[in-house]
Amino acid sequence: MFTDSYMLTALIAGTGIALACGLVGYFLVLRAQVFTGDALSHVAFTGALAALAFGIDLRIGLFASCVLIAVVFGTLGRRGRADDVVIGNVFAWVLGLGVFFMTLYTTDQSGSSSSGGNQTVNVLFGSILGISSGQAAVAVVIGLAVSVALVLMARPLLFATLDEAVAAARGVPVRFLGYAFLVLIGVTAGEASQAVGSMLLLGLLAAPAGTALLLTDRPFLGLALSAGLAVLDIWVGLTVSYFVPNTPTSFWIMAVAAATYAAAVAYSRISKAHPARSSTSAAAS
């Protein structure tokens, strides 16, 4: 498997993307902003369609739209954190724009550019095995940049997430952190859409983070665990798709993420149902 250039490129790109998704996703779940991630995953598709309609690079549309709408969420929300009403209204407007740009693109192009149609399908459902070596390098750079930025702001962001009022009173720039985090979500959504697709992006953001929160209540351990699980989902999903050819890679990645989360839910419920047994085992170890 490691001698296959397409698979090796996918593993490299997927690792960078998964690191960013795991770290961003942990705070996304902790801050109850999962709906934001869902909205931005659809914004990525609309941005891609807009770029194709105006004849520019698809990636410019992806990143510009995701970051712009993320900032709009923060501006309309409170302390840089949008509520569900704001997200729902902007989300509906963005979906309408997506229909408009799709109509504009198909009408102007008249189906003459099959590559553009393939690109929009890839943004919807993902094409991690179709990523070039150049795109993989960009994915790794962006993934590492997002990861470093989030690690640097993790402690104050955690403080602002758990007790916003006290954090603001202690001088923590709560609003700035909210905007910065939304921008990181937008960048991550724009990059990850090329790998797993905008339709499945939310799974890679939410599932590893949800699993980590079920397994530990220690925030920094959970942050590391979320990133590790996201990378594991990518690697196992790619491995399964290699040995089960002619099946969608994104499906296996999401299937592994869902199975891991289901196992964590089962473990959590068993632990709560038998607390004495769990504490006895911990004491013995």
Q: How confident is the model at residue 38 (pLDDT cuts 50, 70, 90)?
A: confident
Segment 105-130, tens digit of pLDDT: 777 665 444 455 555 555 666 678 77
Half-sphere exposure (CA, 13 Å, Cβ side) for 277?
6
Average pLDDT, the chain: 82
Copy the structure tokens of residue 12: 């490299």
Look up residue 77 and give its DSSP letter. Answer: S
Compute the Cα dihedral for 64, 203, 175, 156 and give only its sign. Answer: negative
The Cα 74–Cα 87 span in angstroms is 10
The CA distance from 190 to 65, in Å, is 8
Gap between the Cα atoms of 28 and 217, Å rounded = 16
pLDDT of res. 117 = 53
Q: Is pTM, for the whole model, over 0.85? A: no
Neighbours of 90 (CB within 10 A): 17
Q: Is 246 left (phi over 0), alpha (psi -120 to 50) or beta?
A: left
